[in-house]
């Protein structure tokens, strides 16, 4: 087994390597003068079980192309098996045609990864679970909820906690966390007027006097999250903390979070946080290195990965 990393999340890759007690593979990814990507493996991988860790986060196209080139390099270097480890799978929000004459980009990306030469995929909290079916190779979709549940027990008084889904589509994820910590469930009903903007309409469930935990898979602009927090507080919630798997936080989203009424935003390191994000006092980073590392270990030794969901 050998673990290699692209340039998207070297910090997470190094943490995973420490968990596995193996060195990070030697390779070099650099650019030509015109920004074309050049990748070179600097050690023998013939017959090896290779894992490539790369989040397709900002800049998404660069990191996606880099991963495809890496997969091709390992295939041509006779690696026995290639597993693409994507802590954050970009383009997952484009998983269906929402209107006429639009692409299904998640399917396209799945095809690209498969055609590049990956033998299997390991990812975390896909935006839509059915994206697993877009791949014609084995795909394991890990869940961050078990990691979040342990963190919730450490930092909260469970007797007063209520789990909240920021929209109807996230109820399954919210219910999973609520079940693990034996908490009640509420839902924020919102209307999205246009992409990137949302308007909170009402709260389904009584949150009066409760410490609310918002849970979702992606926070991008932060608008939905901040509006949901305000709606919950207006309905009598004592405090609002958000647990989000993928902290995209594009543009000035981190400033919006800093000024919001959120007590805390907890995001995983599936996307490498910038220095600006780390500097925000009410944003905390929760590592998923052990989860990814254990999944890689079990995949390499042909053990059950689904038991990690328990």
pLDDT at 121 over 70: yes
pLDDT tens-digit series, residues 244-285: 999 999 999 999 999 999 999 999 999 999 999 999 999 999
Mean pLDDT for the stretch of residues 214-226? 93
pLDDT band at 196 (very low <50, low <70, confident <90, very high): low
pLDDT tens-digit series, residues 88-114: 999 999 999 988 899 999 999 999 999
Q: Say how many C-beta atoms besides its own lie within 10 A of residue 109's C-beta.
A: 24
The whole-angstrom separation of Cα 155 and Cα 299 is: 32
Find out whether 310 is annotated in a ligand binding site.
no
CATH 3.30.1360.30 is the classification of domain 145-287: no
**Residue 241: closest CA among 170, 121, 152:** 152
**pLDDT of amino acid 192:** 60
**pLDDT of amino acid 308:** 83
Find out whether 216 is annotated in a ligand binding site.
yes
pLDDT at 197 over 60: no
**pLDDT of amino acid 124:** 97
Token representation of residue 3 = 């673990």
pLDDT tens-digit series, residues 143-167: 999 999 999 999 988 999 999 999 8
pLDDT band at 217 (very low <50, low <70, confident <90, very high): very high
Find out whether 170 is annotated in a ligand binding site.
no
**Bridge partners of 81?**
49
pLDDT at 294 over 60: yes
pLDDT band at 194 (very low <50, low <70, confident <90, very high): low
The whole-angstrom separation of Cα 39 and Cα 140 is: 26
Which residues make up the CATH 3.40.50.2020 domain(s) of the chain? Answer: 2-142+290-309, 145-287
Classified by CATH at the fold level, domain 2-142+290-309 comes out as Rossmann fold (3.40.50)
**pLDDT of amino acid 6:** 95
Q: Peptide bond preceding 59: is omega within 30 degrees of 0, i.e. cis?
A: yes
**pLDDT of amino acid 184:** 95
pLDDT tens-digit series, residues 22-37: 999 999 999 999 999 9
Find out whether 47 is annotated in a ligand binding site.
no
Find out whether 221 is annotated in a ligand binding site.
yes
**pLDDT of amino acid 213:** 97
Q: Are 106 and 94 in contact (CB under 8 A)?
A: yes
| Residue at token pair 């342990």 | 150
**pLDDT of amino acid 169:** 84
**Catalytic residue list:** 190
């Amino acid at each position: 087994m050998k673990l290699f990393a692209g340039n998207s999340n070297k910090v997470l890759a190094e943490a995973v390597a420490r968990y596995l007690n193996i060195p990070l593979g030697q390779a070099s990814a650099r650019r030509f003068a015109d920004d074309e990507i050049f990748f070179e493996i600097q050690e023998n991988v013939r017959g090896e079980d290779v894992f490539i860790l790369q989040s397709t986060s900002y800049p998404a196209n660069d990191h996606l192309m880099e991963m495809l080139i890496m997969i091709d390099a390992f295939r041509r270097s006779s690696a026995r098996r290639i597993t693409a480890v994507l802590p954050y799978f970009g383009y997952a929000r484009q998983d269906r045609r929402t209107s006429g004459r639009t692409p299904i980009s998640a399917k396209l990306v799945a095809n690209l990864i498969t055609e590049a030469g990956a033998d299997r995929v390991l990812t975390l909290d896909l935006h839509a679970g059915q994206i697993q079916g877009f791949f014609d190779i084995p795909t394991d979709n890990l869940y961050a909820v078990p990691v979040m549940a342990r963190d919730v027990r450490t930092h909260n008084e469970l007797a007063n906690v209520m789990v909240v889904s920021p929209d109807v589509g996230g109820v399954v994820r919210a219910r999973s966390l609520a079940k693990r910590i034996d908490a009640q469930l509420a839902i924020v009903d919102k209307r999205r007027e246009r992409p990137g903007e949302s308007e909170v309409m009402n709260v389904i469930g009584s949150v009066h006097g409760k410490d609310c935990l918002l849970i979702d898979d992606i926070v991008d602009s932060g608008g939905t999250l901040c509006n949901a927090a305000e709606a919950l507080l207006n309905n009598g919630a004592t405090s609002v903390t958000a647990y989000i798997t993928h902290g995209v936080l594009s543009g000035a989203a981190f400033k919006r979070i800093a000024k919001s009424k959120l007590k805390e935003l907890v995001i995983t390191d599936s996307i490498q946080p910038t220095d600006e994000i780390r500097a925000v006092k009410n944003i905390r980073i929760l590592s998923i290195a052990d989860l990814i590392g254990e999944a890689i270990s079990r995949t390499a030794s042909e053990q059950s990965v689904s038991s990690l969901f328990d």
